[in-house]
């Protein structure tokens, strides 16, 4: 099951945008890493609602987009690890 099959095409642009925002937040020393996904969630939801309309479906799209961005970032980090 692919998570991208549940995301509308017009919301795909938010995935790299959230990655960039996450990298910016990571560079801010006062923000602990554990809070970055929680900060990205409302950004993703508001972004998806701005693109798709102010309804529940768009809010769910925002959650899916944020989850995809955070999960994708974790996959990249884990694959780069030396064991």
pTM: 0.84
Residue 32: pLDDT band with limits 50, 70, 90 = very high
Long-range contacts of 51-55, Cβ-Cβ distance < 8 Å, separation of 24 or more: 51/10, 51/11, 51/13, 51/14, 52/8, 52/10, 52/11
Average pLDDT over residues 34-39: 93
Residue 77: pLDDT band with limits 50, 70, 90 = confident
Write the pLDDT tens digit of every residue in 37-61. 999 999 999 999 999 999 999 999 9
């Amino acid at each position: 099951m692919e998570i991208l099959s549940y995301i509308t095409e017009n919301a795909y642009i938010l995935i790299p945008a959230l990655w960039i925002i996450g990298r910016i937040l990571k560079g801010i020393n006062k923000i602990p890493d554990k809070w970055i996904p929680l900060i990205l969630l409302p950004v993703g939801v508001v972004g998806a609602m701005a693109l798709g309309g102010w309804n529940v479906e768009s809010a769910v799209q925002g959650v899916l987009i944020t989850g995809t961005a955070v999960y994708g970032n974790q996959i990249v980090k884990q694959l780069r690890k030396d064991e």
